[in-house]
Amino acid sequence: MLPTARTFINAFLHLLFPEACVVCKRVLNAELRFVCPSCRLALPYTDFFKDLQQHIDNPAGRVLIGRIPADFVLPFLHFQKGGSAQKILHAIKYRGAKALAYEMGYLYGERLCRASLPYEIDGFLPVPLHPKKQHQRGYNQSEYFARGLADAWQYPLPVWNRAVERRVQRASQTHKGLWERWLNVRDVFELTTEGKRALHRQAVVLVDDVLTTGATLEALYKSILPAQPRAVGVITLAYAGDAFA
Ligand SMILES: [Zn+2]
């Protein structure tokens, strides 16, 4: 199809189904997607990456102390109930907006790769989704967030989406306490043969959508130990520890 024809069709579709900002619900211009310019400016950025001291000494980093020997724990946004990060996460999870997950990753990647991380990272390991959930949703939001991060970096970086597999989950975590949740998630991740080779002696960045108790990330970290990664960092779309404290 000719580019002009495609532009015309897109403009026509926009007239019929105008897209609204996922945060403030105002109708977006045809060339914009998901989040309007004023909401972009007002996103609750953590900006922990701007200060070397805060790469690990921040509320999210403190959650993982003694559990993951990470050199940086850098969530992109603060999560507040009813806030814009929650609306974005909701759109990503329940409205199938995988392009939004990618865009958030790209937006963060552009900023992060200019920050002085303690070493050159080798790639991103997104938290794998349970196969049944991935089938229902059609994609893994952490993987698309990681793809956005990788594509924004100054040098090519892999997204290891087959390095770790998630086994069948036993029961829902919704009504469980912290300890039970940890027991439940403890051994759901399994390093694949491909993963053992790919992650060997690499500086691995674990990627998740939301960091709350840290149980999932801790379990993921433990699963990659046989590959002997040389360094570990954590990047998430949001930090929600305060919201659930
Ligand atoms: Zn808006």
Low-confidence ranges of the chain (pLDDT < 50): 245
Q: Quick one: which H or E segment has residue 179?
A: helix 178-185
pLDDT at 127: 97
Give 140 Cα–ligand 1 centroid separation in angstroms.
Answer: 25
Residue 175 has a pLDDT of 61
pLDDT recorded at residue 46 = 96
Instruction: Assign residue 128 the CATH number of its domain.
Output: 3.40.50.2020
Same domain, 102 and 4: no
Taking only the tens place, the pLDDT of each residue in 31-72 is 778 999 999 999 999 999 999 999 999 999 999 999 999 999
Measured in Å, residue 58 CA sits from the centre of ligand 1 at: 28
Spatial CA neighbour of 70 closest among 243, 204, 209, 227? 204
* 81 and 37 in a common domain: no
CA distance 97 to 172: 24
* Ligand 1: centre distance to CA 44 (Å): 13
Read off the DSSP letter of residue 159. B
Cα-to-centroid distance, 25 and ligand 1 (Å)? 6
Q: What is the reported pLDDT for 245?
A: 47
Mind listing the pLDDT tens digit for each residue in 159-176?
999 999 998 766 555 666
Domain shared by 68 and 29, yes or no: no
The Å distance, Cα 32 to ligand 1 centre, comes to 11
Domain co-membership, 67 together with 171: yes
Q: How far apart are the CA of 206 and the centre of ligand 1, in A?
A: 30
Same domain, 178 and 68: yes
Distance 54 CA to ligand 1 centre (A): 29
Residues 18 and 73 in one domain: no
Question: What is the dihedral angle through the alpha carbons of 16, 21, 26, 31, rounded to the nearest 10 degrees?
Answer: -60
> Could you tell me if 130 and 238 lie in one domain?
yes
How far, in Å, from the CA of 55 to the mean position of ligand 1?
29
Identify whether residues 108 and 193 lie together within a single domain.
yes
Interatomic CA distance for residues 83 and 147, integer angstroms? 25
Q: How far is the CA of 161 from the centre of ligand 1 (A)?
A: 32
Neighbours of 93 (CB within 10 A): 15
pLDDT at 132: 84
For the chain, how many structural domains are there in total?
2
Residue 204 phi/psi, 5° resolution?
-100, 135
Q: What domain range includes position 22? A: 1-42
CA of 155 to the centre of ligand 1 (A): 32
Q: How far is the CA of 35 from the centre of ligand 1 (A)?
A: 5
CA of 28 to the centre of ligand 1 (A): 8
